[in-house]
Amino acid sequence: MEQSRLGSSFVPQGNRRTVGPVEQRPSGSRGAGDVSRQLALLVFGGSVLLAGGAFVQSWRTGGAIPTSLIIVSVGGVLLSALLGVGALLADHIGKLKFQVEEALHAARQAGSDEARERHPRPSGGASVQK
């Protein structure tokens, strides 16, 4: 028997049922995308603070901004962009993996249902003799 989409979206949680997709990841774990995203924000914030500090210092003193600070801050922004792209890619791969696992589970369920329909078990405790 096929369930409707609404019926299959009810997920039991304790004594109540909720509607909608449920995150399968345990509440305490973090995926690679989460960690990479946080690291990208940290690197970006550090490089922007470094560049801002160098700009303020050169503006106050009237001197030039040291080339090494420019290189480090631009490198930090580029590194944070790469980490951000990696985080998006990791999130996307995780979602695709979850969808593939759901499809595989549904296919296995459908296969086992078809097998039960083709070969029903004898009912009523009667034994089958050859």
Residue 81: its pLDDT value, please? 93
Name the phi and psi angles at 16, rounded to 5.
-125, 165
And the tokens for 88?
Answer: 């998006």
Residue 21 lies in a domain: no
Judged against a pLDDT cut of 50, whether residue 2 lies above it is answered with: no
**Domain presence at residue 5:** no
pLDDT of residue 97: 92
CB atoms within 10 A of CB 32: 14
Q: What is the pTM of this model?
A: 0.57
Which helix H or strand E contains 12, and what residues bound it?
strand 10-13
Quick check: is 88 in a domain? Answer: yes
How many Å apart are CA 17 and CA 9, to the nearest integer? 10
Tally of domains in the chain: 1
In a domain, 61, yes or no: yes
Range of the domain at 104: 32-118
φ, ψ of residue 10 in degrees (nearest 5): -80, 125
Is 20 inside a domain boundary?
A: no
| 66: confidence class by pLDDT, cuts 50, 70, 90 | confident
- Look at 23-32, 34-43, 52-61 and tell me which has the smallest mean pLDDT: 23-32
The answer as to whether 110 is a domain residue is yes
